[in-house]
Amino acid sequence: MEDEVRKKPAPNGICVRRQSLVSEKTILTSDKRPRAVGLLGGGIIGGGWAARFILNGVDVRLYGPSNAAIERVQKVLRSARRVYRQLTQVSLPVEGTLAPVSSVADAVYGVELVQESAPEKLELKQQLLAAASEAAAPGVLICSSTSGLRPSLLAAGVRYPERLLVAHPFTPVHLLPLVELCGGASTTPDSLERAAEIFRAVGMHPLVVRKEVNGFIVNRLQEALWREALWLVHDDVATTQEIDDAIRYSFGLRRAVLGPFSVGGGATGMRELMDKWQPELRSAWTKFTDVPEHNDAFLCKLAEQSDARTDNWTVAEFEDRRNDALVAVLRALRTQGCGAGETIAYWEQRLRDRVPQLDGGSDEACPITSI
């Protein structure tokens, strides 16, 4: 006879089993979306995750130590609803619920995936992930949003570390589709594949990092550019605004479609490219191997130039302009079937397959379920 289990109402009102007694593989909806996720942290990243999941019909259980976490998440949700109406004409599913909770154990109760988005402090993340692993069912995926910490370090103290991995998103999480997946020494291929299916089902492009490495892929590339940009300002070659203009009016636009290795001619084209640029790659142009000293004079220079910029918007103005521009770029890429536009097209087709096509979605706040 099946063991008697305690039951507790889930956010949607359905009773679910006490997690400590559940050992079977977690069940996803038919299109691989989880029914519910647990979010640890309600800051910029946690709020973006909440918006992406909720607007894709997934219930969210949010644990945030700050009383302002729910207000921040609701603000991100309002912005996300507005830009999603610009991003796609396909009807979204009925929104998931947002359930604020007061403990890590409550956040991981009855969910299929846990996403930690705490500040980038190793001990803090280790404590949260360990606590989540103690309370969650063995088959629940546990992911960290860390931007650079190796998953094997994060796994210290985690039960069933084979289901722990990094799922590193990019701001704003509800718009940018890439999520880097990186497993640690104990992470199984099945965990990486299940995570990829979940993130793909909510409109993302999962990229599995082949080797465990600090900073993963994107941040190592970004930091190389950032170091050179700092040297250009430090050496008075350019101002902060001039450097931003140099990127956004040239290869920054191209990079939305073509990566650095996107060349015509196959192997022949690549050899020609490397022959062409090899002398410059070995020249004294760059200073990638070190970084200027962050002394007071240099920091003051950066601050003064930032204040003098012509596009010195408020945070709210910047976010609105950024989001509107990103929507325009993504929609344009979709019409051309390029890069992230293919991800949007794939996501829209999945929405068409599961949601009756009606008029645009609601702008009302998503329901909040009390715990």
Give yes or no: residues 45 and 193 share one domain: yes
Residue 81: give the domain boundaries. Answer: 7-208
Question: Would you state the pLDDT for residue 253?
Answer: 84
**56: Cβ contacts below 8 Å, ≥ 6 apart:** 33, 92, 93, 96, 201, 202, 203
Residue 352 domain-assigned? no
Question: Would you state the pLDDT for residue 195?
Answer: 98
Question: Would you state the pLDDT for residue 312?
Answer: 73
Residue 368 domain-assigned? no
Give yes or no: residues 150 and 289 share one domain: no
Max CA distance (Å), the chain: 77
Residue 182 domain-assigned? yes
Find the distance separating the first CA and the last CA of the chain, reported in whole Å. 31
* Residue numbers of the chain with a pLDDT score lower than 50: 1-27
**258: Cβ contacts below 8 Å, ≥ 6 apart:** none
Question: Would you state the pLDDT for residue 13?
Answer: 33
Residue 364 domain-assigned? no
Instruction: Give the domain-ending residue among 169, 188, 208.
Output: 208
Overall number of domains in the chain:
2
Give yes or no: residues 235 and 171 share one domain: no
Give yes or no: residues 174 and 147 share one domain: yes
Residue 347 domain-assigned? no
Question: Would you state the pLDDT for residue 274?
Answer: 63
Question: Would you state the pLDDT for residue 115?
Answer: 98
DSSP state of 93: P
Question: Would you state the pLDDT for residue 257?
Answer: 79
pLDDT tens by residue, 288-318: 566 778 788 988 888 888 888 877 788 888 8
Backbone torsions φ then ψ of 95, nearest 5 degrees = -60, 145
CATH number assigned to the domain comprising residue 298:
1.10.1040.10
Give yes or no: residues 121 and 256 share one domain: no
Give yes or no: residues 191 and 249 share one domain: no
Distance of CA 180 to the CA centre of its chain: 8
Residue 129 domain-assigned? yes
